[in-house]
Amino acid sequence: MRLRIADELLGADSLDSLTAVQLRLLVDELLSDYAACLDNGEIDRWPDFFTDDCTYKVIARDNHERGRPLATILCESRGYLLDRVRAVQETSYYLPRQLRHVVSGLRITGHDGDEIRAEANYAVFRTMPDEETRVFNVGNYMDSIVLDGTRLKFKTKICIYDSILIPNSLVYPI
Amino acid sequence: MRLRIADELLGADSLDSLTAVQLRLLVDELLSDYAACLDNGEIDRWPDFFTDDCTYKVIARDNHERGRPLATILCESRGYLLDRVRAVQETSYYLPRQLRHVVSGLRITGHDGDEIRAEANYAVFRTMPDEETRVFNVGNYMDSIVLDGTRLKFKTKICIYDSILIPNSLVYPI
Amino acid sequence: MRLRIADELLGADSLDSLTAVQLRLLVDELLSDYAACLDNGEIDRWPDFFTDDCTYKVIARDNHERGRPLATILCESRGYLLDRVRAVQETSYYLPRQLRHVVSGLRITGHDGDEIRAEANYAVFRTMPDEETRVFNVGNYMDSIVLDGTRLKFKTKICIYDSILIPNSLVYPI
């Protein structure tokens, strides 16, 4: 029994033959797997969701909309992601925290053969030791997704967050 | 390549032949498009989601459950929606704000040929300039949806919110 | 017109022949119905979502991950659930409250013939009379789901919440 929608639908070499319904279900599964990876604290698996030449960016909405380059996190290849993983794992003053992603409103906004563009809203909750759970970071994803072998991966993932006030430690990816 | 599930599934003149799976996916897409319209600040496109003879209502749960008519927002046709758009756009003391909808738990609760009834939970987060993102308005949608030409539109959309304490400016639609 | 995906897809005696797409849609519908039951205050219907020999547990993440047995709520059969329903309904000092579940990130993590294992993130918001809506309890579900007659039911439902600080009255199920 095949459990993953990707295993069921992604047999061919291209995304061309997929229907709108199939694309929607595939990207939904990818976003769910991505969120679970981060929420389960498996940050060493996080770079596997990206292509080698990926761009990963976390940026305030204001900067994004005005075309300002200033981003809170900017990784311009998978190597950068690996560096960030190491940074998170080795930062000693970094208190343990629990993130929890709630993602909804997925929309497939573009598709040209090899590349899917998708957007979704996210709300990330954070729980620090001995504190109540709080709203941590809210915004939307703007993703470009490609088929890498038999797996969907992010070629671009931009996390555009709504509040310029973020807690002083946006170390962990969104 | 057709990107929208609606373009893929809504060929016929009626909703009669759709399966439960197809209805679920179509309404999910409609709700996602609706949320994106509001969250992207494209309020001038908001009335396009409604039929000409629509009812749009934002009401406290307590009033809704006791059958009290008092609603925070009540628009009884598409013309009312256009008035509200103008009010939002022309209100000078209205500070810019960023809304973010997270919608889940969609259920198709009724379907009689031309009309789909659907419910879903929503949480709207709001970010004011230089403030942290906060929980703004939480509740559930009770929608009646019809086919208007080749597009699904809301004939009725009731937003029933859980807290009678709402920030003093529920100007923007939910 | 069949409205429920379960009525459409669950004809056979076993779950064996279902595709990954169908499983995903069926469990999503089950979780939506479950949340609506609790959010609508229909707690007397809550035990119907479980098998007779079910386990229902609400536990802090820290205890769950360290294998500690201490749970905030532990019901080891449907009879326990009925007891809890009665407790909730008869507790006189229990102020009325409105819960609202937002669930996302559903993943089918296992499937062996008769049993589906699924996980999803949840955020529950709570509104007390004359108070603002607040984040109440955030975490993830770990469920085992079986076919009971023609209906999917929880054989096991574990709600693992992120913060050990919970409001002093986790009386109502999550």
Token pair, residue C87, equals 């407790």
Residue A87 · residue A164 · CB < 8 Å: no
Query: For the residues A20-40, what does the mean pLDDT come to?
Result: 97
The sheet carrying B98-111 orders its strands as B73-75, B50-60, B151-161, B134-148, B115-127, B98-111
- Which residues contact residue B152 at a Cβ distance below 8 angstroms, ignoring those fewer than 6 apart? B6, B10, B26, B27, B30, B116, B145, B146
Residue A164, SS3 per DSSP:
coil
Q: Are B2 and A20 within 8 A, CB to CB?
A: yes
What was the pLDDT predicted at A171?
Answer: 73
Q: How, if at all, do strands C73-75 and C50-60 pair?
A: antiparallel
- Residue numbers in B near C4 (CB within 8 A): 20, 108
How far apart (Å, rounded) are the C-alpha atoms in residues B146 and B114? 6
Q: What is the pLDDT of residue B130?
A: 87
Of A88-97, A109-118, B92-101, C151-160, minimum mean pLDDT range = A88-97
- In this prediction, residues A64-84 reach a mean pLDDT of 94
Element (H, E) at B63: helix B61-65
Query: What per-residue confidence (pLDDT) applies to B20?
Result: 93
A3 against C118, higher pLDDT: C118
Least Cα separation, residue B129 to chain A (angstroms): 7
Q: Between chains, do B121 and C31 touch, taking CB under 8 Å as contact? A: no
- Arithmetic mean of pLDDT, A61-65: 94
Q: How do residues A126-136 score in pLDDT, each as one tens digit? A: 999 889 999 99
The Cβ of residue B26 has, within 10 Å, a number of other Cβ atoms equal to 25
Per-residue pLDDT tens digits of chain B, which is 174 residues long: 568 999 999 976 678 889 999 999 999 999 999 999 999 999 999 999 999 999 999 999 999 999 998 899 999 999 999 999 998 888 766 677 899 999 999 999 999 878 999 999 999 999 998 899 999 999 999 999 999 988 999 999 999 999 988 755 677 899
Q: Distance (Å) from the C-alpha of residue C66 to the closest C-alpha of chain B?
A: 31
Q: How far apart are CA C31 and CA C50, in angstroms?
A: 12
Asked whether C123 and C105 are in contact (CB, 8 A), the reply is no
The three-class DSSP label of residue A126 is strand
What single letter denotes the amino acid at residue C106?
Answer: L
Per the structure block, which two tokens stand in for C66? Answer: 């360290």
pLDDT band at C15 (very low <50, low <70, confident <90, very high): confident
Strands of the sheet containing A115-127, edge to edge, are A73-75, A50-60, A151-161, A134-148, A115-127, A98-111
Instruction: Compute the distance between CA of residue B115 and CA of residue C3 in angstroms, rounded to an integer.
Output: 12
The band of C74, judged by pLDDT with boundaries at 50, 70 and 90, is: very high
**Contact at CB, A137 and B132, closer than 8 angstroms:** no
Q: Which residue numbers of C have CB closer than 8 Å to B's CBs? A: 1-5, 7-9, 25, 29, 31-33, 35-36, 39, 98, 100-104, 123, 125, 127, 130-135
Q: Provide residues of C within 8 Å CB-CB of chain A.
A: 16, 19-21, 23-24, 61, 102, 104-113, 119, 121, 123, 135, 137-140, 162-165
CA C19 to chain centroid, in Å, comes to: 23
Give chain B's contact residues with C (Cβ, < 8 Å): 16, 19-21, 23-24, 61, 102-113, 119, 121, 123, 135, 137-140, 162-165
pLDDT of amino acid C164: 84
pLDDT at A169 over 70: no
Average pLDDT of the residues of chain A = 91
pLDDT at res. C2: 61
Question: What ipTM was estimated for this complex?
Answer: 0.94
Q: Within its chain, how far is the Cα of A41 from the centroid?
A: 14
pLDDT number for residue C40 = 95
Taking CA–CA distances from B122, the nearest residue in chain A reads A104
% residues pLDDT > 70 (chain C): 93
Residues of chain C with Cβ-Cβ distance to A132 below 8 Å are 135, 163, 165
DSSP B162: S
Averaged pLDDT, C83-104: 85
Confidence (pLDDT) at C97: 83
Bridge partners (DSSP) listed for residue A101: A124
Higher local confidence (pLDDT), A141 or B91: A141
User: How many CA atoms lie within 13 Å of C51's alpha carbon, on the beta-carbon side?
Assistant: 19
The whole-angstrom separation of Cα A67 and Cα A53 is 22
Yes or no, beta carbons of B111 and C1 under 8 Å apart: yes
In the prediction, which pLDDT does B132 show?
93
Q: Does residue A15 or residue A25 have the better pLDDT?
A: A25
pLDDT given for residue B16 in this prediction: 84
Give the range among A89-103, B34-48, B135-149, C39-53 with minimum mean pLDDT. Answer: A89-103
Hey, of C32, C101, C124, C137, which one would you mutate to test binding to chain B, going by the most B CBs within 10 A of its CB?
A: C32
Spell out which residues of chain A touch residue C107, defining contact as CB-CB under 8 Å. Answer: 29, 32-33, 36
Determine the average pLDDT of the residues in A149-172. 86
The per-residue pLDDT for C130 is 87
Contact predicate C81/C52, CB 8 Å: no
pLDDT of amino acid C12: 60
CA distance C115 to chain A (A): 12
Which chain C residue shows the shortest CA-CA distance from A99?
C162
Nearest to A101 among C105, C111, C112 (CB): C105
Region C134-151: mean pLDDT is 95
pLDDT band at A92 (very low <50, low <70, confident <90, very high): low
Q: Which of A163-172, B150-159, C10-19 has the lowest mean pLDDT?
A: A163-172
Q: Give the Cα separation of C138 and B105 in Å (integer).
A: 16
User: Beta-carbon neighbour count of residue C11 at 10 Å?
Assistant: 8
What is the structure's pLDDT at A130?
87
For residue A137, is pLDDT > 60? yes
Task: Read off the pLDDT of each residue in A97-122 and give the average, rounded to a whole number.
Answer: 95
Which of A47-56, A75-84, C1-10 is the least confident region? C1-10
Which residues does chain C have within 8 Å of residue B16's beta carbon, measured at their own beta carbons? 1
Chains with ≥3 Cβ pairs under 8 A against A? Answer: B, C
For residue A166, the chain B residue with the least C-alpha distance is: B132
Other residues' Cβ atoms within 10 Å of the Cβ of residue C132: 17
Is the CB of A111 less than 8 angstroms away from the CB of B25?
A: no
- Other beta carbons within 10 angstroms of residue C73's beta carbon come to 17
pLDDT given for residue B97 in this prediction:
83
Which one-letter amino acid corresponds to residue B4? R
- Which stretches of A16-128 are assigned E, i.e. beta strand? 50-60, 73-75, 98-111, 115-127
**Residue B52 belongs to what H/E stretch?**
strand B50-60
Predicted confidence at residue B54, as pLDDT, reads 98
Q: Distance between CA B26 and CA B127 in Å, rounded?
A: 30
**What sign for the dihedral angle of Cα C104, C110, C112, C114?**
negative
Quick one: pLDDT at residue B25?
97
C-alpha distance from residue C12 to each of C9, C17, C147, C149 (Å): 8, 8, 10, 10
Beta-bridged to residue C142, according to DSSP, are: C119, C158
- Cβ neighbors of B129 (< 8 A, separation 6 or more) are B95, B96, B97
Closest CB from C106, C111, C138 relative to A3: C111
Which pTM does this prediction carry? Answer: 0.95
Q: Are the C-beta atoms of A126 and A133 separated by less than 8 Å?
A: yes
B-chain residue closest to A114, CA distance = B1
C16 and A1 within 8 Å at the Cβ level: the answer is: yes
Three-state DSSP state, C87: helix
Best mutation target among B104, B141, B164, B166 (most C Cβ atoms within 10 Å) is: B104
The average confidence (pLDDT) of chain C is 91
A130 dihedral zone (left: phi>0; alpha: psi -120 to 50; beta): left
Q: What is the mean pLDDT of residues C101-106?
A: 98
